[in-house]
Chains A and B, each alone.
Chain A
């Protein structure tokens, strides 16, 4: 046993894939649904309903379990790289940190602006930039999970850990 290294090596890609799956739900379902040019139903514009839905989803996701996954994922990737430095673990850590940086620099400010702005163009200003940044962080986080899993191959193949 080499202590924490095998734990971090296994936990980092699993956490990365779980976060990647969560992001993927937005890429594959939520955003396509909200971006869909909907027919006008009732007395409200479709974009108005989409903005309200996204606001509600954003409020709901801010909870300890999600924040724990969001922060633990890059932390585990950095720990895995520090405990067992190599090109794959370091690349995975860099990608996870990039994913978090995109979240902090782009997605969270756009969420905050959408929560605040109530004008008719608020949704149009939100949708494009948020979706684009979200695609990039999804790719970064899933890519990091794959790299981290591949890095784990070196040791899991020998049973030495």
Chain B
């Protein structure tokens, strides 16, 4: 048995290094999936049972009160961690893992695009409504909001769930 050369030892050390960033990306991506899913199974079906004025005031309160620091940390954390781990795996020459992580990155970008294209404009529109307006105004505002918002949300949940699966697949590959 011969001692490994210095570059060999360094390579072995690198290969054996635990994929910390990949694991962190997986956990934060699963957090995002759970966050979006809450709106599918609880918040929006619950609000569907409320009268128009309560619906509009609650959506306005949600838009105004959301903890943007905490939420941004998770939202951008998932993006940054996935992007960084793409670079790490590619540099390490693990091309198969790299492909799965790129797939996760693309899926997550799609979820963010749905958010930007559908949810943010709808939130802004309903927040601009005068909550003390007459009933027909509130009914119209709700009708324009609720259907598209609810239809698009399972998309971002699904994108995140499949991204979690892609990251899990990358993690399960043998690390050489």
Interface set of A (CB-CB < 8 Å, partner B): 6, 10, 13-14, 17-30, 32-36, 38, 41-42, 44, 49, 52-53, 56-61, 63, 65-66, 142, 145-146, 149-150, 152-154, 156-159
Can you name 20 A-B residue pairings with CB atoms under 8 Å?
A: A6-B172, A17-B26, A18-B34, A20-B34, A21-B31, A24-B35, A32-B65, A33-B61, A36-B61, A42-B53, A49-B58, A56-B47, A56-B48, A59-B49, A60-B43, A60-B46, A149-B23, A153-B18, A157-B16, A157-B175
User: Which among B30, B34, B131 is the interface contact of A41 at CB below 8 angstroms?
Assistant: B131
**Which of B67-75, B81-89, B114-122, B139-147 is the interface stretch?**
B67-75
Q: How far, in angstroms, from A154 to B41 measured CA to CA in the complex?
A: 35
Instruction: Give the A-binding residues of B (Cβ under 8 A).
Output: 16-20, 23-24, 26-39, 41-43, 45-50, 53-54, 57-58, 61-62, 64-67, 70-71, 74, 131-132, 164, 168, 171-176
| B16/A60 in contact, CB under 8 A | no
- Given known contacts A21-B31, A149-B26, A157 and B37 CB-to-CB distance under 8 angstroms: no
Separation of A55 and B153 alpha carbons in the complex (Å): 22
CA distance A41 to B132 in the complex (A): 6
Q: Which residues of chain B come closer than 8 Å to A19, judged between CB atoms?
A: 34
Among the listed B54, B74, B175, which residue makes an inter-chain contact with A53, where contact means beta carbons less than 8 Å apart? B54
Give the residues in chain A near B29, CB-CB below 8 Å. Answer: 17
User: Which residues of the other chain, B, contact A61 by a CB distance below 8 angstroms?
Assistant: 41-42, 46
A42 to B135, CA, bound (A): 10
- Shortest beta-carbon distance from A66 to chain B in Å: 6
Nearest CB of B to A39, in Å: 8
- Cβ-defined contact, A152 with B23, below 8 A: yes
A27 and B62 alpha carbons, distance in the complex (Å)? 12
Tell me whether B34 and A24 are in contact (CB under 8 A): yes
B67 with A21: CB separation less than 8 A? no
Closest Cβ of chain A: how far from B15's Cβ, in Å?
9
Complex Cα–Cα for A71 and B164 (A)? 20
Q: What are the 5 tightest A-B residue pairs by CB atom distance, in nearest-first order?
A: A21-B34, A17-B30, A57-B46, A159-B174, A21-B31
Are A17 and B46 in touch, CB under 8 angstroms? no
A58 contact set on B, CB distance < 8 A = 46
Q: Give min CB distance, B135 to chain A, whole Å.
A: 9
Q: Which residues of B contact A65 (CB under 8 A)?
A: 41
Residue of B nearest to A14 (CB): B30
Given contacts A41-B53, A49-B58, contact A24 B41 (CB under 8 A): no
- B66, B164, B176: the one contacting A32 at CB < 8 Å is B66
Partner of A158, one of B16, B57, B64: B16
- Chain A residues whose C-beta falls within 8 Å of the C-beta of B33 in the assembled complex: 18, 21
Apart from A30-B62, A57-B47, A157-B17, what 8 extra A-B contacts exist at CB < 8 Å? A21-B32, A21-B38, A23-B34, A38-B57, A56-B50, A59-B46, A146-B27, A153-B23
